Chain A
């Protein structure tokens, strides 16, 4: 293996131009995918933090009294999708309404009876983000005796979740597209690199070298190019990120930047691993047709 690495180093040094082109190509593609991943990861984080604990209002019938609350909470918790249940009595609801309406609250004072029902605010678990699951939960809660109505902003939530899922799908599609572009360019540059050494490869074969002996350094080179390209791409992305976050901070309200973070280590490792795989696959695609006796 040491011998192969020596050959790889020697090959890389003697083909600096082609190797630089390959690494730069991979780096650019990783940069584009990285920009998207950065945007995607942050958007997901922001969406999740906004979405944290999707809420549902459960309005209770007039037959409800406070002694029934533990039993009701138990029944809703048993459905398994809830994080927290907060009881809002009709009195509290009226107080809140008065507070919300402030200057126009005089008409509320004129009411003889409190028209508001007792209610429960149900906060769902973080992973409950599918509209179908939320709908199912609402239907199940509505079947519980004493529950009169359930409100969960169906239209708003449906639109929000479909935008989120469209965003996700677009992310996958763009990442796949750029992966294919990077693969195509990498395969071609490795093919050029191999073509530049075809005379050498032919001589190796004539003196008894096996295919494994000939192609192993190319594969190692492909992997190294992929890793180097990945690291370079992420490095550029990081500089870009630093530049943006320091330069734009003054012009954009702080809360917009507050949650924006660079890619997590997990994401970065995945991107570099994909980049290494890209180098290897490009090598595989370009070499398989050359090595035929």
Chain B
């Protein structure tokens, strides 16, 4: 694993491309994201937003180019180090990815258990984050019996419980009503205010317009078309 630290950059992508067969999902992406930034990645469906996110936590490998995350070169990271890379991220998946046969509490606790946290600390942190996300009364409920909005809250709680350095949210509000969407966005803004880097992939312009101090990166057919500072 090579370590290259550069000022406050937490994510750096150099000419990154991702190809599935002959089709390019991402083409020559070069981005520099500073620690503590709030980034929106926008674009139509199929623009490559989710793929870009997946490259960061190594759900997919790049076809060309290099990515540095907190100084780690993802092209050279060994399989045994991948879990440790993933612990730097709190990922809110588009399809929630909750384990149906585990309770709300168990789903959220999984992140800390995987990181070998002590049982006492796990209990304290999980109960606290579930209270914060408004799921404190449903800790023993199984995900299939929750509404979409509630499942999203659990997914957010799971992403935040490990106090990650970077939060990746892939379409976190796509299946939610506007109130629930705003609640989720407020959680993310709160974590951002504590210094966490947040990347949100979305095509919901409403939530972008409700956010200040962010940066918007646009993708069209896998290519970067521009970056704008939100005021």
Residue ranges of A at the interface with B (Cβ–Cβ < 8 Å): 3, 14, 199-200, 203-211, 213, 292-293
Contacts and interface: CB of A to CB of B under 8 A. Distances in A.
Interface stretch (B23-31, B113-121, B127-135, B221-229): B113-121
Contacts of B110: 203-204, 207, 209
Given A3-B119, A14-B101, A208 B111 contact: yes
B112 to A, nearest CB: 10
A204 to B, nearest CB: 6
B83 A208 contact: yes
Of the candidates A206, A207, A209, A213, the one having the most CB atoms from chain B within 10 angstroms of its own CB is A207
Contacts of B113: 3, 213
Contacts of B87: 208
A199 B98 CA distance: 9
Contacts of B102: 200
B86 interface: yes
B158 A207 contact: yes
Given A14-B101, A293-B58, A207 B114 contact: yes
23 contacts: A3-B113, A3-B119, A14-B101, A199-B99, A200-B99, A200-B101, A203-B99, A203-B110, A204-B110, A205-B86, A206-B91, A206-B97, A207-B86, A207-B110, A207-B111, A207-B158, A208-B86, A208-B87, A208-B111, A209-B110, A210-B80, A210-B83, A213-B114
Given A206-B93, A208-B114, 4 more contacts: A206-B91, A207-B110, A213-B113, A292-B79
Interface string B43-77: 00000000000000111000000000000000000
The listed residue with most A CB atoms (<10 A of its CB), out of B58, B80, B83, B113, is B83
A71 to B, nearest CB: 76
Contacts of B80: 210-211
Interface of B: 57-59, 79-80, 82-84, 86-87, 91, 93, 97-99, 101-102, 110-111, 113-115, 119, 158, 162
B189 to A, nearest CB: 23
A206 to B, nearest CB: 7
Contacts of A3: 113, 119
Contacts of A14: 101
Cβ-closest 3 pairs across A and B: A209-B114, A208-B87, A208-B86
Contacts of A293: 58, 79, 82
Contacts of A204: 110, 114
A15 B110 CA distance: 19
A210 B97 contact: no
A205 B83 CA distance: 7
B59 to A, nearest CB: 7
B58 to A, nearest CB: 7
A206 B91 CA distance: 8
Contacts of A207: 86, 91, 110-111, 114, 158
A128 B114 CA distance: 60
Given A208-B84, A208-B111, A209-B83, A203 B97 contact: yes
A204 B114 CA distance: 8
Contacts of B84: 208
A207 B117 CA distance: 14
B73 to A, nearest CB: 16
Contacts of A292: 79
Contacts of A203: 97-99, 110
B222 to A, nearest CB: 23
A93 to B, nearest CB: 82
A133 to B, nearest CB: 56
A114 to B, nearest CB: 89
A254 to B, nearest CB: 57
A209 B116 CA distance: 9
A292 B61 CA distance: 13
Contacts of A208: 83-84, 86-87, 111, 114-115, 162
A172 to B, nearest CB: 40
Contacts of B86: 205-208
B131 to A, nearest CB: 21
Nearest to B61: A293
B114 A206 contact: no
Nearest to B96: A203
Contacts of A211: 80
Contacts of B82: 293
Contacts of B79: 292-293
A204 B110 CA distance: 7
A210 B81 CA distance: 9
B43 to A, nearest CB: 23
Given A3-B119, A293-B79, A293-B82, A206 B59 contact: yes
